[in-house]
Amino acid sequence: MCVSADVPRTLLTLLPLLLLSSVLEAKMRAVSSRITPVVREIARVPTPVAALAEAPDGLLFAGRDVGVLGADGGISIIARGVFATSVAAGPGGNSYWMTTSPGPIVRLAEGRLESFPVNGAPHGIVAGSDGNFWFIRIGGIGRITPDGTVHELATPAELGTPVAVIRGIDGAMLVAGHRAVARVVADGVYDVLPTTQWFVRRMPSTGFSGMAQTPDGAIWFGIPTEARTSGFATGGAIVHTTTRFEAASGLQLAFFCSPVHLTPAPDGSLWFVEENFFYAPLFIERTLVGRRPNGSVERYPLGTGSTALMVDRAGAVWIAVNDAEGRSATIARLQPR
């Protein structure tokens, strides 16, 4: 590119920034609301969505408001102003238990909301095999019984801050901490597996970002991308271990990408959302990724909105992508193969 000597020096200084800005603006327009045609768009709902769950008559979506997307595509809002962060369905889909920001656990049953105070900002609620609902919180984990009785449980110091709790395929509850994973043996009793071998040459602040267990018994963990002030970064990764807590090899993801929303499928696939921070802080590009049991990987661009992910019992993958303004979300479905 040739520039006249008469161009002011200030403009010469700004030209690289202007060029970069135009490139990034074009990139943002291209991906800001994109959902690949392979993933079928089902509906647009009038609330941001943070969590999804199966409902007897369709799909339950939960965020600022809670509603149901019916099998016929109809949308009904059943509760407003909830600000749910996670949701778990009760037996038979007769009730839904949700953590909210910043406060209580709420139960939605027969169109009514009931609140149950919990200390430590509860999050990540799941249904346990014991009929209770388990969640993580600051300083430990907890469970709430179907009648609303809350039990707050401490976790071992070596586990660090809990980041996820799931029900294992053997019915035991598994808890992922900062750099360790534990099986709940009884109240206050844990079988802990340190996993420091997965964090060699990583920053002390880097720990697990999520956990899932596939039907073959493998337990999968997400590790986020590290961005350093020096300008260098260590890419995100997914690693796994066996049901016997024996460390196994890890699956390395693309540079600059962080895996979130790890979700197992009935066929043994592992689904997650990959967050590409290359353009941060301007925006984060997200991709739906599926790892099949044979090791093959499928990728479906989603755009830049925050997401929620769920796989139903039939194996269909559901994804919610929020708009940039945080006012609504697009719900889409990837049919099982």
What's the pLDDT tens digit per position in 205-264? 888 889 999 998 888 988 887 655 444 456 677 777 765 555 544 444 444 578 899 999
| 59, pLDDT greater than 90 | yes
Which one is predicted more confidently, 83 or 254?
A: 83
User: How many other C-beta atoms are found inside a 10 Å radius of the C-beta of residue 11?
Assistant: 10
Neighbour count for residue 130 (Cβ, 10 Å): 12
**Spatial distance between the Cα atoms of 155 and 184, rounded to a whole number of angstroms:** 9
Q: Is 305's pLDDT higher than 80?
A: yes
Domains of the chain, each with CATH number or no CATH: 83-194 (2.130.10.10), 198-304 (no CATH)
With a pLDDT cut of 70, the percent of the chain lying above it is 78
Residue 9: φ, ψ to 5°: -60, -35
Local confidence band at 193 (pLDDT 50, 70, 90 cut-offs)? confident
pLDDT at 36: 58
Q: If DSSP states are collapsed to H, E and C, what string results for the chain?
A: CCCCCCCCHHHHHHHHHHHHHHHHHHHHHHHCCCCCCCCEEEEEECCCEEEEEEECCEEEEEECCEEEEECCCCEEEEECCCCEEEEEECHHHCEEEEEECCCCEEEEECCEEEEECCCCCCEEEEECCCCCEEEEECCEEEEECCCCCEEEEECCHHHCCCCEEEECCCCCEEEECCCEEEEEEECCEEEEEECHHHHCCCCCCCCCCEEEECCCCCEEEEECCEECCCCCEECCEEEEECCCCCEEEEEECCCCEEEEEEEECCCCCEEEEEEECCCCCCCCEEEEEEECCCCCEEEEEEECCCEEEEECCCCCEEEEEECCCCCCEEEEEECCC
Q: Select the highest-mean-pLDDT range: 39-43, 176-180, 319-323.
A: 319-323
Structure confidence by residue, pLDDT tens digits, 3-48: 333 334 443 444 444 444 444 444 444 444 455 556 788 999 999 9
Name the token pair of 242. Answer: 């066996």
31-35, 57-61, 301-305: least confident range: 31-35
Q: How far apart are CA 44 and CA 100, in angstroms?
A: 22
Look up residue 249 and give its two tokens: 């090899």
Question: Token pair for residue 132?
Answer: 């209770």
Average pLDDT for the chain: 82
Cβ burial 64-81 (10 Å sphere, 16+ → b, else e): bbbbbbeeeeebeebbee
pLDDT at 139 over 90: no
Instruction: Provide CB contacts within 8 A for 209, sequence distance 6+.
Output: 163, 222, 223, 224, 236, 258, 259, 260
Mean pLDDT calculated for residue range 59-88: 95
pLDDT band, very low/low/confident/very high, at 320 (cuts 50, 70, 90): very high
Q: Give yes or no for a contact between 259 and 209, defined as CB atoms under 8 angstroms apart.
A: yes
Distant-in-sequence, close-in-space partners of 20: CB < 8 Å, separation ≥ 6: none
